[in-house]
Structure 1
Amino acid sequence: MAEETAPAETTPPVKTAPVKTPMQRALPGLLIAGSLGGVGLVMVSLLSLAPPPVDDGSLPREVAAKAQDAPTVDVQNAGAFVLAATVGPGGKNVPLTPARLEAPPPLAAAPVVPAIPRAKTKATKARPIRIKIPKIKVNSAIGSVTMDAKNALGTPPLTKPNQTGWFRGSPVPGEAGPSIINGHVSTRTGPAVFDRLRELAKGDQIYVYRSDKKVTRFTVSGIEQASKTSFPTKRVYENTSNAQLRLITCGGVYNKTTHHYTDNIVVYATLSKKKG
């Protein structure tokens, strides 16, 4: 992503569905956008039996003195922390921390409803067009992002700071599997669409509107802030038998030299209502 000048950016384990999602079939060795509000990329390989090591593609880190309001875990001192066995619920005045890499996605916070059947043909395939998150006053158009020739996942244009990006290799929100939507925390013009993403907590509602007139409601089940050097690839991308949503942006300490943030903030949510 483009360089930025400000330090504010961009269930128990479920049984794996027998049919792999297009994302799983198409993206071994995926490079995902880790520095959603900066220049860097988080490189991840998709879903092997053991979580692979992750390289965020940045230069050796010289942590900048100024941090976001968000607390962060210094990876160099990671041995001093005992990571939780599950993703935390988030909430007011609750520090966001990472969970163990092998931990599953958090338990659903509301009764789960069946996924919307996947379209059989391209002509009938829906796409997400808008996301609303009442708690943090998000009302954003959803564009699409894809991988480039270098297998790097794109992000919304910096000229559209209030637009989010749905990864077209992931399921349409409401269909079975984890749908991925990313967004900037900030651009040169100031705070962007996911500036307040870290404020979400278990039980909060996320609404995704689709081109087929269906409206899907997801309920947040957990939120974490994880170092880009230990991105929870399996937890974020592993296939699920129900419909889930992942929102991703940046957090942690901003490095003015490399224009990277140290961490990612990941929100986990599960489909709890649908209409239309």
Structure 2
Amino acid sequence: MTEQKPLLTRATPALLIAGSLGGVGAIMVGLLSLAPAVDDGSVRAPVVAQEQPSTLEFQNAGAFELPPSVGPGGKNVPLTPARLDAPPPLAAAPVVAPIPPVKTQAAKVKAKPLRIRIPKIKVNAPVGAVTVSKTGVLGTPPLSKPNLTGWYRHSPLPGELGPSVINGHVNTRKGAAVFKRLSELAKGDKIYVYRSDGKVTRFTVSGIEQVGKKTFPTARVYGNTANSQLRLITCGGIYNKSAHSYTDNIIVYATLSKKKG
């Protein structure tokens, strides 16, 4: 499941996390001051009470201070959250300039992401668009399409300046979904996003963390950046069967390192 609140890309105010789907999480973030709730399609309150401590909380029990930066991830390395005020992790590969948006009137149809490929975890999936409902809730891919990912269409187009956000389910009631293995990614891994304008963007993972939904790092995920970045988000932690929700979110941070087309 993925869970997050929508973002308005021209602002950097604080956002909140909300809502989740049965068995699958949806996360997207809204403006810091106007944080809309997120709902993956379940009929319940936007914020789910955490009935039991997550794995993360057990790991950090007794800790006086969280790490000052997002960890690199890796095999057999427990994922922990960085301090709330920590910045996004530094790029793991040389950064290339963002792709400038097309501003001519001739471009009547705006480009969009079509497919995402992550070789390490064998993801090769279509990308759909998700947006905010009239009630301020950000949608996620339908559970009937577990291999579909969702790009928040008001976040930057992958490859353009700023943090582009793509979410996906970790599982559905019928089994594994597209981002089931997202937590296996680590610093240096490659993510490819294919766009409708023929351009191909390659992002290199710079860090990964697992955070409690009540302490989602809004500024780190949705704040303005000086280059083109990508955020992949799904659910993690302990699954609450009665609430159909996970306690945590898995967040992957990546920076544009190559572009073609």
With the shorter chain as reference, the TM-score category is 0.7 to 0.9
Identity of matched residues, %:
68
Alignment root-mean-square deviation, CA: 2.9
Distance 1:83 1:29, change over 3 A: closer
Matches within 5 A, 1:229-244: 229-244=214-229
Structure-1-length-normalised TM-score: 0.80
Counterparts of 1:27 and 1:257, CA distance in 2: 35
Counterparts of 1:246 and 1:37, CA distance in 2: 23
Q: Verify the 8 A CA contact 1:97 1:225 in the aligned structure 2.
A: yes
SS state at 1:23 partner: coil
Aligned partner of 1:62: which letter?
Answer: E
Distance 1:168 1:36, change over 3 A: farther
SS state at 2:8 partner: helix
Specify the alignment match of 1:61 in structure 2: 50
Match of 1:165 among 121, 137, 150: 150
1:179-207 CA distances to partner (integer Å, 9 max, x unpaired)? 00000000121000000000000000000
Distance 1:273 1:186, change over 3 A: same
1:114-154 CA distances to partner (integer Å, 9 max, x unpaired)? 00001215615210000000000000000000001111111
Distance 1:37 1:107, change over 3 A: farther
Specify the alignment match of 1:225 in structure 2: 210
Distance 1:79 1:153, change over 3 A: farther
Q: Verify the 8 A CA contact 1:37 1:185 in the aligned structure 2.
A: no
Q: Verify the 8 A CA contact 2:18 2:48 in the aligned structure 1.
A: no
* Structure 2: unaligned runs, 5 residues or longer: 39-44
Q: Verify the 8 A CA contact 1:33 1:40 in the aligned structure 2.
A: no
Aligned partner of 2:31: which letter?
Answer: L
Specify the alignment match of 1:206 in structure 2: 191
Match of 2:247 among 262, 265, 269: 262
Task: Report the Cα offset of residue 57 of structure 1.
Answer: 3.1
Distance 1:172 1:124, change over 3 A: same
SS state at 2:203 partner: strand
Distance 1:234 1:38, change over 3 A: farther
1:165-222 CA distances to partner (integer Å, 9 max, x unpaired)? 0000100000000000000000121000000000000000000000001000000000
**Count of aligned pairs:** 247
Specify the alignment match of 1:98 in structure 2: 81
